Amino acid sequence: MRSWADYSPRNDLLDGRVILVTGATSGIGLAVSRDLVRHGATVVLHGRDAAALENVYNELKELGPEPVAAQLDLERAQGQEYQHLTDLIAERFERLDGLVHNAGILGDLSPIEHYDIGLWQKVMHVNVNAPFILTRCLLPLLHQSKDASILFTTSGVGNVGRAFWGAYCASKFATEGLAQVLADECENTSVRVNYINPGSTRTGMRRKAFPAEDPDTLPAPESITAAYLYLLGPDSAGMSGNRFEARSGKSTRKTVA
């Protein structure tokens, strides 16, 4: 695929699919969740704020299949809370067809020499440990799907180190490593694993990283949802272990030496 402009998903692309999106109450997570519902998916909406989740639930239930709200604080959640979410999905659907790891935090833009140790640990936990725990808990349900897609979120600093990007940069390197390991382990199963770089997008995290930047010069989150629809739907069946660029549609694949 040369560009996502070439991709025109049919209206019923995701009919019957159950997809969990983390960080679904704002930015890219919200835009993706909207389009998933519009194309027939039942979306499990994850967020840490109950009021924000309720607002998104009320909006999305008017667009398609009724979503499910799942409150979970990825910074503080313990094992039993992850298990409760897993049990909720198992009881209602008996399977999971998609998992979008979208939630994440930036931390500070600071040199390693001065990086706050507690903040480093927080960023690594939310961006790496929490997706690992959630994936581990949900894999049995993903294996119950005939075509399950796991999608991790990486970054432009996810495979090239950049000064002052500290824990965020390191966490995205780890995310790509986790995705590659899981893709290799899930080879010859019904579960495929890919990771996507959204690129420069008009989000709260982008504003924090570049406060002097004019947000009106950036593409809106709604402009990149085609990439997510493609990777979560049947049109990308069999694709696994790839790094996708949400802007260009380009993909690369790491090979084991």
Question: How many C-beta atoms surround the C-beta of residue 52 within 10 A?
Answer: 17
Helix (H, G, I), strand (E, B) or coil at 78: coil
> Catalytic annotation on 228?
no
Which listed residue (168, 195, 228, 230) is catalytic? 168
Helix, strand, coil distribution of the chain in percent, nearest 5: 45, 15, 40
Distance CA 9, CA 86 (A): 29
Q: How far is CA 101 from CA 47, 94, 134, 216, 219, in A?
A: 12, 20, 9, 26, 21
- CA proximity to 23, closest of 45, 1, 5: 45
What DSSP designation does 254 have?
Answer: -
DSSP line for 92-120: HHS---EEEE----------GGG--HHHH
Q: How many CB atoms lie within 10 A of CB 189?
A: 12
- Tell me the C-alpha distance between 106 and 157, whole Å: 12
What is the Cα–Cα distance from 226 to 28, expressed in whole angstroms?
Answer: 12
Catalytic residue annotation:
168
